[in-house]
Amino acid sequence: MFAIFETMEDYQAQNELVNNAMGYPCEHTARYAEENPRLTSDGKYAMQILPYVEHLFIGCEIVESVVYPEVEDE
């Protein structure tokens, strides 16, 4: 499952919420999700939802999968 965010600010706010709830950074974990995610094919930001933090994503747009644009080799 993935949470979908329209803006980078919304994505970062959710990441901060999860980080605070889970006590990150800690000894082995710097943050829940990456700081600068790739855009999905539809121009949104996706954050994977792991089972132990599902309860922190209430009210978020949730999808089963996301599609990213293909990266062309140089």
Contact 3, 14 (CB under 8 A): yes
**pLDDT at position 31, please?**
93
Peptide bond into 25 cis (omega under 30): yes
Would you state the structure tokens that stand for residue 69, as one six-digit string? 């644009």
pTM: 0.88
Write out pLDDT tens, residues 36-71: 999 999 999 999 999 999 999 999 999 999 999 987
Alpha helices by DSSP H, listed for the chain, are: 8-22
Mean pLDDT, rounded, for 10-38: 94
Contact 46, 10 (CB under 8 A): no
φ, ψ of residue 47 to 5 degrees: the values are: -125, 125
Q: Is the per-residue pLDDT at 74 higher than 80? A: no
